[in-house]
Each structure stands twice: as C-alpha cells, then as structure tokens.
Structure 1
Amino acid sequence: MIGNLDWTSFDSTEVGTMYYADNNLWNALVSILLGFAFFLLVASVTIGTNLLYDWHTSKESGPMKTKPFCQDYHNYLKEYENLKNVPEARMYFLEDKCQMSNLSTKKLSSLMAIIFKNDNPEVPKHARVISIKMAGFKYGNECHDFEPINGRAPGSEYCYKTFGNNRIQGTFYKENDVYYLAGFCIYVKNEFVMGFNFREDDVRWLMGGTPYPARTRGIRNTKSEMELAKRIMELKIEENSKNEEKGTLWVYLPSQPCRGSQECSRSTNKNESLFAIV
C-alpha cells in the first residue's frame, strides 16, 4: 500500500474497458454528426438545384396547343364560395385537412392586385387554381373553359399557351383568324412552390392582348365599343386615310399574339383582320 491507495487491488482491465467504451461513444457521436451534416448538404444541394430549375423554367413559354394542360389533381378541385375581395375570379382548393399554407400566397395576392386594380386582395392560403375570365367571356365547366357570352362563331376554335413550366395557362379564342384571350388560369402545383414561379410580365402580357369586341358577333353596343377603344393598349390605333369614313375608326387586329418587345405588324395583309368601331 502506498499512501491511501491499495495498488494490490488495482485492475488495469477495468480501466481499459472504460476507455474503450468512452471511445466507442465518441465515435458513434461523431458518426451521427457527420451523417447529419451529409444529409443537410445533400438536401441543400437538392433544394438549390430545384429552385434554380424552377427559376429558369419560370421564364419559358410553351407553343400554342389545341388541348389544355391539366394538373394531376384537376378532378379533385373544389371551388371557394363568396370571395369578397376578388369576386370576379374563381379559385379552387383541394379538400385536404393536412394541407399546408402556400408559400406563394403573397405573390398571388400581388398578381390579383394588378389584374383587378384592387389594393387589398386576399388569396386563400390553400388555393391551388385561380381562374380569371376576360371581358366578353363567361366561365365554363372546367377551370380553363371560357365561353363567349353571345355564343361561339362558326369555325371558331380554342388554343392554349402555357408559361413558366405550366404555372400559368392562357386560353385563346380564335375567331376569323384573330386570337383573343378568353381567360387564363394560375396553377399552384403544391404548397412549396415559390412566388417567383408566377411572373408578373407573363400576366401583364396576357392582360395586354387583343380584347374581344362584341361588334364581331354582330351586336350593337355603343358603350362596349367605347370601352373597347380605351382598353386597346399594345395595338396601334390610327385612322386610315384610305378607309376613313365619318364616325368610323378602323382597328387592325393581328392574327397571332405578340409578346414582350416583339412588335405587332400593322400592315394590311392576310395575317390581319380589319374591324370598324362606329
């Protein structure tokens, strides 16, 4: 015995066992931390890649098609009732109690403010589809269906154009070789879709297209004609000296919609239709 220690009872095997156990504990803890760090790295790269892809595709637009795009959940949509701030629009949701709030609600509300000139629109936080009709059209059976108020003209047809990887879809009504925007839909694929997927430029381009004139259906409505003349923004309205008649304003409507900085042709050719507003 040295001092108060009884070295005869000292067991080196027990000390080694304790050291080995502590070492295993630290190794396990380090492994868990490294695994968690690796998981965060993979998740960050995946999310970042998806966001970059969404941002890139948000600037794209598809060609004109004869069949509309429909989301997978199309048949399970339910329409909101009694929308106070945006009664002109139709909005749809999915009956899912576990559904989270949309991350894009704020951006969708800002788009509604632009479309309806409303300072305080409220888009429901679970909205999956927003359907908006244009003047001269009424809502149909499906969210992408928009029908002329006074009925379709013989030989008319519908075409559809998507924007931002099917985030927005415009329904065009073609009559006498002229494309009119009948309405458009905004699709929220899931609650994690970010607001930048819904581009304001696309909405403004759609809203700035050729309005559907009631006169092309043989209907006299002086008030509607005056409103039509005020609403035409992108088209250049000018009096044609060769076709000038007293009290008549000739409007050239291009047969193909143009976008962005692309100029609409104003020359009188087979791609244009000439309408008179009296």
Structure 2
Amino acid sequence: MPLKLGKDQMAATSLEALAGLTIALGALIAIIAIRFLLDFLYNWWCSRRVGEVTTTPWIPEDHGNFSYFTNSMRIYCRWTSDVNRCTEKLNSLVDANERAIPENARIISVRMDGFEHGELCHEFVPTVGVSSGSYYTWQMFGDNRIQVTNYVENGVSYVAGYCIYIESAKLRAVNFRGEVVEKLKSSRKYPGNKRKEMETGFSVVPLV
C-alpha cells in the first residue's frame, strides 16, 4: 500500500517547495538587477569618453530617410516603427519643447550663433563666410554620441555646432552626457558678424 503523508508532513513539504520557489525567484531577480546595473555602469563609463581633436570628422553610416529644420537645428529622421527610449533626454539636451524631437530621430545637428548649417550634418559655415587661413576641427564625446565641430580663425577656436547621434532606438538617457552640451552652450561666441561690420562699415544681416 502506498504511504500516506499526514497533514503536517504535507504542509511542511508545501512550505519547503514554496521556500525553494521564493529563493529561485529572488535569485533570478537579483541576477537581472545585477545585469541591469552592470549595463548601466558600462554605458555611463562609455559616455565619459573624450576623443582626440582631429581634422577629419566621424561620419555615421545612417543619416535617416529625411531631415527638416527648426530654428537652430537640423533633425535627420528614419521611417521606422521603433521609438527612441531617450527622446525625453534629447529634448532636455537641446532645450527643446516637449515632443520637439521626434521619436524616430537619428541625428540632431545643432548650429551655434553666427553659423549656418552646411551640406552635411557635421558642417557649419560662418554666416559671414569662411575667412582666409581658417580651418575646422572635430572632437567626439562618448561612444560616438556627441561630435563637436570647431571653427578655428586667427588661432582662436569657436564651437560652430555639434551633432547628437542616435544610432539605435534602444539607447537610453545614460548614453548621452548632458554636461558636455551645457559646456558647448556656454562656450566662446563667434564674433564674425561684428568683425565684418567693423571691416566693411555696414551691418550684416544673418542668413539664419
């Protein structure tokens, strides 16, 4: 005859099974949490990278399907059903109104005062024209996330503009270092318009 467990034994067995299940579930949650934390720390560390100043820009493979202009930005987008996870952070980086940056944006090109957008996303041209002997440099911040275009004139470097690259909709806010953009906004202003006015004796009307 099969052995029959008493009520106390059955209760104890059920408690043991429940305890085992609870421990297994807790371990799984801990593993997921640790993996998420490690991923967050890795992305945070990558966002702190500072590239060398170069005379050639980094050019992304994906410029999206179309682009459009706002007051100071040119935004490149891609027709896709994927929604960026970092849209809120992108809006805060460029001081844009809510939903100003579309959820399918791939590149945000931001010009500084005194410059206008060039043909490519990383190109920014002085509104008064390029002076003789001047040149450009580029510098990358993060894991190919923010690229700064500098315009060097008479030995002085000015931030002409910068690009924010969103290569994947899976990127999160931690991938973009906000303090970099804040420093760019407060960088030395290009006095090109004032210089042109002094040289020619008439005021220059900005094209943007």
TM-score, structure 2 length as denominator?
Answer: 0.74
Task: Give the 3 Å change call, closer, same or farther, for CA 189–216 of structure 1 in structure 2.
Answer: same
CA distance in 2, matches of 1:80, 1:222: 32
- Match of 1:90, SS state, is strand
Other-structure match for 1:103: 85
Counterpart of 2:167 (choices 189, 194, 202) is 189
Report if aligned partners of 2:123, 2:149 keep a CA contact under 8 Å in 1: yes
TM-score, structure 1 length as denominator?
Answer: 0.57
Alignment of 1:101-140 (within 5 A): 101-113=83-95, 119-120=97-98, 122-140=100-118
CA positional deviation for 1:199: 2.2
Task: Give the 3 Å change call, closer, same or farther, for CA 223–144 of structure 1 in structure 2.
Answer: closer
Paired amino acid for 1:110: S
Paired amino acid for 1:207: K
CA distance in 1, matches of 2:182, 2:191: 20
- Match of 2:59, SS state, is coil
- Match of 1:142, SS state, is coil
Other-structure match for 1:163: 141
Counterpart of 1:91 (choices 59, 72, 75) is 75
CA positional deviation for 1:107: 0.6
Task: Give the 3 Å change call, closer, same or farther, for CA 178–53 of structure 1 in structure 2.
Answer: same
Task: Give the 3 Å change call, closer, same or farther, for CA 120–222 of structure 1 in structure 2.
Answer: farther
> Which ranges of structure 2 fall in alignment gaps of 5 or more residues?
1-23
CA positional deviation for 1:111: 1.8
CA distance in 2, matches of 1:184, 1:192: 22
Instruction: Please identify the structure whose Cα radius of gyration is greater.
Output: 1
Counterpart of 2:130 (choices 141, 149, 152) is 152
CA positional deviation for 1:45: 5.6
Task: Give the 3 Å change call, closer, same or farther, for CA 41–148 of structure 1 in structure 2.
Answer: same
Is 2:53 the partner of 1:64? yes
Report if aligned partners of 1:89, 1:133 keep a CA contact under 8 Å in 2: yes
Other-structure match for 1:17: none
Paired amino acid for 1:93: C
Paired amino acid for 1:201: E
Other-structure match for 1:54: 43
CA distance in 2, matches of 1:47, 1:72: 29
CA distance in 1, matches of 2:84, 2:179: 21
Q: Which moved more, 1:137-146 or 1:64-73?
A: 64-73
- Match of 1:204, SS state, is helix
The percentage of aligned residue pairs carrying the same residue is 32
Deviation digits for residues 138-179 of structure 1, max 9, x if unmatched?
111110001112221111110001112221111000011000
Report if aligned partners of 1:112, 1:121 keep a CA contact under 8 Å in 2: no
Report if aligned partners of 2:72, 2:112 keep a CA contact under 8 Å in 1: no
**Two-structure CA RMSD over aligned residues (Å):** 2.9
CA positional deviation for 1:56: 1.1
CA distance in 1, matches of 2:73, 2:150: 17
Deviation digits for residues 65-99 of structure 1, max 9, x if unmatched?
1111122324xx23333x6xx4431101223x3x4
Paired amino acid for 2:65: K
CA distance in 1, matches of 2:136, 2:150: 6
